Amino acid sequence: MCGITGWVSFHQDLRPGAPVIEAMTSTLALRGPDAGGVWLGAHAALGHRRLSVLDLAGGAQPMTDRPDRPDRAQVVLTYSGEVYNHHQLRARLSQRGHHFATRSDTEVVLRAYQEWGDALVDHLEGMYAFAIWDERAERLLLVRDRLGVKPLFWAEVDGGLVFGSEPKALFAHPEVTPTVDADGLREAYSLLFSTGPTVWSGVRELHPGGLLVLDRGGRHERDYWALAAHPHTDDLDTTTERIRALVDRAARSQLESDVPLCSLLSGGLDSTVVTALVADELRLTEGAGARLRSYAVDYSDQAERFTGDVLRTGHDTPFATEAGAFIGSDHSTVVLDPLALLDIEHRRAVVASRDSPIGVGDMDTSLYLLFGEIREHSTVALSGEAADEVFGGYPWFHSPKALAARTFPWLLVTGDEAAMPLHPELARTLRIGEYREDTYRAALGAVPHLDDETPEEHRQREMQHLSLTRWLRQLLHRKDRLSMAQGLEVRVPYCDHRLVEYAFNTPWAMKSHDGREKSLLRAVGRGIAPDSVLWRPKNHYPATHHPAYNSGLQALARDALDAPHVRDIADETVIGTALDTPADQLQWGHRLRLERVVDLALWLDHHRPALNL
């Protein structure tokens, strides 16, 4: 995994622009701690930071079609991610006369472009974001993977555009200033997780499954992939076997690595299935004695103080330990001190990695610290992210209230008490309620349907589409930013697009055939996961329940309210209620409000954006 950036302008010669592209590239050093490089041409400059995972000796970037004479290159690539079918593509391209100098999947992408042009996107399987500059046509191609696992942002500049894995790379360009207006804050605090506009004025995110072309004729964007509705003709037994094969293939195909690899094992169904399949593949390829490392996270007070809430029904660690023993993984639990989550430098690092004021406070900080501990031993980790969206695991798929509500379902779970309380004057300007209603109608209009769907099937298709195209995207952003800030690559097998396509078109009656959530994934897990995990209710990422954390958070929030511009955005009266609540009585929603105020202050301090409200 890596960080990419670049600059194209048809109004000036960029060859003297080395200081600019080097500055842009250096902002991504945490994403690629192993190496960096830049390439400059008359109208394009590309940068790359590398986290070495495959072909450690080869695969340096930006990669050109003329490694012997990069100054005469016709095609230049800067690439982030993993193409899991690169061996198959290499064989096909070799048969077509292409020669390879490295073992890297990067070179496969380069040669695939030479063979198929923009149509290379139809051949790739994996998670990726990349840019190709075609010197012959003076043409830039930007591409992002189908589910949006890897991020890619861009902004207009004189005569062209700049792009990068993170907005911070764009801000290193002299023409791009971090600016926030009402539209950006509306987008951020509505919690609708749209793709395209961002919190930053003028900065856009390339759509998942999208590509952008820039040449002298202008800029053109299109989606090369999107969820589509198709009739499902398989019976339940055939469907179960097909799901099992797709999950199995996705997990096993993502094991390749030239550096240490592990699995994130929370003790839930999703991560246990992935860990079991990958552990089995490791034994098949490396011998019966091979053991996969697996990791869980816990807090030093959790066993004593765990308290259930709207998102959590039980303590993870006993289930994760049992699952690790059942699978035979080399399992470890990273135990965090709850008070370490209050460390202001940790929180600054988290906010800086996100480039956004929107996060989940202690859960982001603990994930960041977990990834830091894992990085001491592994460079690649596999995750169970996306299984709830693919198989219908969230409460809103099963709640009559959520199914009947005409709004985004996660807003019913988090509720307004967990939203940022906005200054009354700003709230009147943003009109978030109206924005949510308008966006919801537009989002439903984008859902593909079949003509003969029952009302139940129609609604469940809407819920799954909203979950896959909005809710999942913020989870993938969170995992990408916090893992890459620690130089850790996280792979997500449940985002395999063939699995997603098939499951999206599987009838709801099959997805819930045993009367529970994720029925099809549970069927996959039989025999490879312990029964206690198979039938365990959905549990979200753990949070600390220590009263000393709550009181420390209140202190941070009091300081945050005094930071510049915070009172212009946040409603100090509403925040004051949470500040005055006894620490041992602070409820989850009110605590999240305090987390958001602290994050807002740190974000404003780090980026110092121009505010045009």
DSSP character string of 470-539: IIHHHHHHHHHHHHHTTT-EEE-GGG-HHHHHHHHTS-HHHHTTTSSTTHHHHHHHBTTB-HHHHTPPP-
**In the predicted model, what is the mean pLDDT of residues 283-295?**
94
Spatial contact of 272 and 265, defined as CB atoms under 8 Å apart: yes
What does the mean pLDDT of the chain come to? 95
What is the band of 418 on the pLDDT scale with cuts at 50, 70, 90?
A: low
> Is-contact 492 478, C-beta < 8 A?
no
CA 342 to chain centre: 24
The alpha carbon torsion through 206, 210, 212, 213 (nearest 10 deg) reads 170
> pLDDT by residue (tens digit) across 308-330?
666 677 789 999 999 999 999 99
How many Å apart are CA 105 and CA 118, to the nearest integer? 17
CB 78 within 8 Å of CB 65: no
Q: Given 2, 180, 213, 524, which residue is catalytic?
A: 2
Lowest mean pLDDT among 104-118, 261-275, 293-307, 456-470: 293-307
Between CA 168 and CA 602, with CA 183 as vertex, the angle to 5 degrees is 45
* CB atoms near residue 377 (< 10 Å): 12
- The model's pLDDT over 529-567, given as tens digits with 9 standing for 90+, comes to 999 999 998 888 888 888 899 999 999 999 999 999 999
User: 67 falls in which pLDDT band (50, 70, 90)?
Assistant: confident
**Rounded mean pLDDT, 134-142:** 97
Using CA atoms, how far residue 377 sits from 4, 260, 333, 352, in Å, is 25, 7, 13, 24
pLDDT band at residue 416 using 50, 70 and 90 as cut-offs: low
Among 63-72, 142-151, 346-355, 485-494, the range scoring the smallest mean pLDDT is: 63-72
What pLDDT is stored for residue 301 in this prediction? 82
Report the pLDDT averaged over residues 107-119.
98
Quick: pLDDT tens for 240-284: 999 999 999 999 999 999 999 999 999 999 999 999 999 999 999
pLDDT at 573: 92
So what's the pLDDT on residue 590? 86
Radius of gyration of the chain (CA): 24
Task: pLDDT band for 417, please (50, 70, 90 cuts).
Answer: low
Q: Is 495 labeled as catalytic in the residue annotation? A: no
User: SS3 of 296, please?
Assistant: strand
pLDDT on residue 309: 65
Q: How many CA atoms lie within 13 A of 399 on its CB side?
A: 12
Predicted local distance difference test score (pLDDT) of residue 303: 67
Eight-class DSSP state of 173: S
Question: Please, are residues 111 and 100 in contact by the beta-carbon 8 Å criterion?
Answer: yes
Q: Give tens-digit pLDDT for 23-52.
A: 999 999 999 999 999 999 999 999 999 999
- The average pLDDT across 110-120 equals 98
